[in-house]
Amino acid sequence: MKARISASLLKTITPKERPFEIVDDGVTGFLLRVQPTGGISFYFSYRTPEGQRKRYNIGRYPATTAATAREKAELLAAQVTLGEDPQQAQKSARIQRKREKHETLEGFIALKYRDWALAHQRRGEETLALLKRSFAHLYPRKLKDITAWDIQKWRSERKNAGIKPATINRAVTTLKAVLNRAVEWDVIPVNPLQNIKPLKLDNQGVIRYLSTDEEQRLRKALDDREADIIAARASGNSWREVRGYTQLPALDAAFADYLKPMTLLKLNTGLRRGEVFNLVWSDINFGSKTLT
């Protein structure tokens, strides 16, 4: 059946026991298909340059109106006239969009690096959190468009904000590791940060005591960090369980890791870092609860 496909025509259509089609009498190849359930879909029928008959699904009514479907059909007809295959063009565009998504920092981390980090790094959750916390402003950027200047500028801003060089270096090293993986996996040809050197560390520290307020904030920060680590491990294990990976040990014991007990020990005893690192069980008198 031929007719002009329009909003008024759609109002008159009655479903039949079997699917049927109405071919537009104006745009060659433009048609609609009516299902027994009443569902209506718009299509564009054409031949490829090789002579193969294909159909392009324009959309379903009423989400796609007759006017919108007609405009799309006219564009598709123009493509065919130019010797193009609309379906192949759509597929190529979809592949290109997927490729471009992989090429952004956010896409690469979400679609490739995240799985690798959680499966191969003991602290993969912390790595991912550090990347998001430090470089969220770079997430929309393509990997190849991230430059050494971006990081130099970011480091200067962080230093001016009072962030320690060691903390800044740790974040940059983590990002460089991500980009190294991108090179290894043939996403980008070279790591744009490969020549960035770490900031020099100031080893001439000034000795002073914490104020009461500083000590309270330190203890709270330690507690918050413990809670974050425990929650991250639980989240990571849930992710691993769904995908059949081996789960890592839960961190809901007395301490999630070494940092809180070591910090509290230094805070309460005044031990130097080297003394804490070299402490052995025989140095502790459990009876008097003192260090010997």
What is the DSSP secondary-structure string of the chain? -EE---HHHHHH----SS-EEEEESSSTTEEEEE-TTS-EEEEEEEE-TT--EEEEEEEEETTS-HHHHHHHHHHHHHHHHTT--HHHHHHHHHHHHHHHHHHBHHHHIIIIIHHHHHHH-TTHHHHHHHHHHHHGGGTTSBGGG--HHHHHHHHHHHHHTT--HHHHHHHHHHHHHHHHHHHHTTSSSS-TTTTPPPPPP---PPP-PPPHHHHHHHHHHHHHHHHHHHHHHHHHHHHHHHHTPPPPPP--SS-SSSHHHHHHHHHHH---HHHHHT--GGGEETTTTEE-
pLDDT in tens, 124-166: 999 999 999 999 999 999 999 999 999 999 999 999 999 999 9
pLDDT in tens, 97-128: 666 667 899 999 999 999 999 999 989 999 99
pLDDT in tens, 2-33: 999 999 999 999 999 999 999 999 999 999 99
pLDDT band of residue 206 (cuts 50, 70, 90) is low
Fold of 104-205: DNA polymerase; domain 1 (1.10.150)
CATH of 2-94, one of 3.30.160.390, 3.40.50.2300, 3.40.50.300, 3.40.50.2020: 3.30.160.390
Residue 94: is its pLDDT beyond 80? no
Give CATH 3.30.160.390 domain extents, the chain.
2-94
